[in-house]
Amino acid sequence: DLPGELLELILCCDVLGAADIGRVSCTCRRLREACQPRGKVWRERFRLRWPSLLKYYSHSDGVSWLEEYKARHNAGLEAQRIVASFSKRFFSEHVPCDGFSDIETLGCPSHFFEDELMCILNMEGRKGLTWKYYAKKILYFLRQQNILKNLKEYLQRPTERQSFLEGAVLIDQYCNPLSDICLKSVQAQVDDITDKVRKVLRTKNPRHPSLASKAGEVLIPEVELQRQVLDAMNCVLYEQLKYKGNELDYYNSLNSYIHQVLIRRTGIPISLSVLYLTIARQLGVKLEPVNFPSHFLLRWCQGKEGSTDIFDYTYIDAFGKGKQLTVKECEYLIGHHVTEEFYGVVTSKEVLQRMVGNLLNLGKRESTDQSYQLLRDSLDLYLAMYPDNVQHLMLQARLYFHLGIWPEKVLDILQHIQALDPSQHGAVGYLVQHTLEHIERRKEELGPEVKHRSDEKHKEVCFSIGLIMKHKRYGYNCVIYGWDPACMMGHEWIRNMNVHSLPHGPHQPFYNVLVEDGSCRYAAQENLEYNSEPREIPHPDIGRYFSEFTGVHYLANTELEIRYPEDLELTRATVQKIYSPGKE
């Protein structure tokens, strides 16, 4: 006797699960109709379980929510299966290029698969570290592949349809694939600034053409009216919102990411210029990008449109609070004379090239990131725009060779270089030879080396896997993920690290440790001590070796435990002895 709306309300209650709804729908015809696949009940069940996915549907769609629920559920199971397999398959090596082939041939919608990966990454607590580690790698790959596809589509458009802002967002997305960055939200923030400029402009000139509803579609021809727009922009950006050039931390990569520029209200000349130019164009003022050496600028035409005379333009320094410069003042800015060609306008592709070039240089400078992720990402972007650039192809091949990853891809790159420029045969031949040797050594590996505590040769090893340690000399915090009964490095490393100056020299146990600064180090036993205040080690590879942080130590994952089968009990006993209540 209950009204249909009340039945729906009861069945949409969040204490019910999908299995409950399935059982309810089997009881009678009326309840079956209340739980119809396209109805409100299954839509609500889908929304409660995966709220972030509703953005992919419009209310007018005749969606079978039951089928969508099943598809998302099955995609989740498939994602979990693949993530679980990665640790076993790739523990001993970097995930190879073809390691993602299973994912590229998925039979489910990619956004379902990505959503499950995000659910894994967002799991609460300190458990599931290995799952999170590989889920992050897979998600990174999937999103970057999609962004590269979007970038190539962007570059194929006619120049007039290539928005500078969209290009900046694509670079930002590729370097930060796990962040929630989209053109729509960035554009909304820019629109908000534009609206603030209109308010200021309205107080100065209530009849200004930029205040019209379709402003931006038509350029303002009068120079004086354009000047009023630029003055209002400078007032809003630099006086009200306090945007400024980041002189104190100029070489921070965040200055190059447009979403960070909007959040932090600071950047470098090119990122601030993209923002400034976009706002000006939305208000009907045509500014053009100028690839000025050492300091990116914009130019504003004061004479006949399209003039080739550099003195017909005023140059704008978005980094310097929108200051308007003459040709001579531009030279003062960088401290030397430049030829006329450097005052010319550049295309959106050339703007992106300079943005990526900045990131490339930052990637080369980064010394703490041993994975060189920024350098790898910026090389990918540069070669997506200029796939036959021999210099950057060689840099990419050398980088992968240095990191010991993707040897098959290194050979492909070297073959491409040789076809483009035969004069590179010396460098190419050297890398080919050593890469082939690397591949052969990998084939000869018999399997994981298992180290037993009970072996006589291991009796001097005092510490175990998963313990949080402190370096006596350098003071850094770290966690042990491997050990050797004596130093296993070559003579050159031992000499460079001055190991012989230690009281026990190289003839003592050495430990592989993950350090809190993101580095991996090889430390002598006499230089390590138990950490009196153990805490999590924020290292990007922590999940490769450990499944959980207990609060005082790490638990080795299955693959690491296979290699050190007797360490787990020793670690627990050590923790109980050192950190049990009542111990100082």
DSSP H/E element including 514: strand 510-515
In a domain, 13, yes or no: no
Q: Strands 244-245, 266-267: parallel, antiparallel or unpaired by DSSP?
A: parallel
Contact 163, 289 (CB under 8 A): no
Calculate Rg over the CA atoms of the chain. Answer: 30
Q: pLDDT digits over 218-262, tens only? A: 788 899 999 999 999 999 999 999 999 999 999 999 999 999 999
- For residue 583, what pLDDT is reported? 46
Same domain, 442 and 465: no
Q: Strands 287-290, 266-267: parallel, antiparallel or unpaired by DSSP?
A: unpaired
Domain boundary among 329, 352, 375: 352
Read off φ and ψ for residue 355, nearest 5 degrees.
-60, -45
Contact 465, 553 (CB under 8 A): no
pTM of the model: 0.87
In a domain, 375, yes or no: no
Q: Which amino acid appears at position 351 of this protein? A: V
In a domain, 266, yes or no: yes
In a domain, 174, yes or no: yes
What region does 370 belong to: left with phi over 0, alpha with psi -120 to 50, or beta? Answer: alpha
Same domain, 152 and 169: no
DSSP characters over 127-157: --HHHHHHHHHHHHHHHHHHHHHHHHHHHHS
Nearest to 451 by CA among 478, 480, 479, 482: 482
Same domain, 196 and 333: yes
DSSP H/E element including 299: strand 297-301
In a domain, 49, yes or no: no
* 3-class secondary-structure state, position 572: helix
**CA torsion sign, 65 to 68 to 74 to 80?**
negative
DSSP characters over 366-430: --S-TT-HHHHHHHHHHHHH-TT-HHHHHHHHHHHHHHT--HHHHHHHHHHHHHH-GGGHHHHHH
Same domain, 175 and 109: no
Domain boundary among 140, 156, 172: 156
Query: Domain residues for 569?
Result: 456-580
Return d(Cα 424, Cα 11) in angstroms, integer.
70
Same domain, 428 and 562: no
Return d(Cα 403, Cα 398) in angstroms, integer.
9
Supply 382's token pair.
Answer: 């540069």
Same domain, 102 and 244: no
Same domain, 201 and 107: no
- Which CATH number do you get for residue 537? 2.30.30.390
Domain boundary among 108, 131, 156: 156
* 3-class secondary-structure state, position 413: helix
In a domain, 3, yes or no: no
* pLDDT tens-place values along the chain, 584 residues long: 888 889 999 999 989 999 999 999 999 999 999 999 988 999 999 999 999 998 888 766 788 999 999 999 999 999 999 999 888 887 766 666 666 776 767 777 888 999 999 999 998 888 999 999 999 999 998 999 999 999 999 999 999 899 999 999 999 999 999 999 999 999 999 999 999 999 999 999 999 998 886 656 678 889 999 999 999 999 999 999 999 999 999 999 999 999 999 999 999 999 999 999 999 999 999 999 999 999 999 999 988 888 889 999 999 999 999 999 999 999 999 888 888 889 999 999 999 999 999 999 999 887 566 678 999 999 999 999 999 999 999 999 999 998 888 888 999 999 999 999 999 999 999 999 999 988 888 777 767 789 999 899 999 999 999 999 999 999 999 999 999 999 999 999 999 999 999 999 999 999 999 999 988 999 999 999 999 899 999 999 999 999 999 999 999 999 999 999 999 999 999 999 888 755 44
Same domain, 115 and 224: no
Supply 35's token pair.
Answer: 């739980």
The count of C-alpha atoms lying within 13 angstroms of the C-alpha of 217, restricted to the half-sphere facing its C-beta, is 4
- For residue 93, what pLDDT is reported? 65
Count of domains observed in the chain: 4
Return d(Cα 328, Cα 340) in angstroms, integer.
12
Contact 116, 80 (CB under 8 A): yes
Same domain, 134 and 77: yes
Other beta carbons within 10 angstroms of residue 17's beta carbon come to: 12
In a domain, 527, yes or no: yes
Q: Distance between the two ends of the chain, CA-based, in angstroms?
A: 69
Same domain, 460 and 441: no
Same domain, 180 and 314: yes
Same domain, 98 and 127: yes
In a domain, 371, yes or no: no
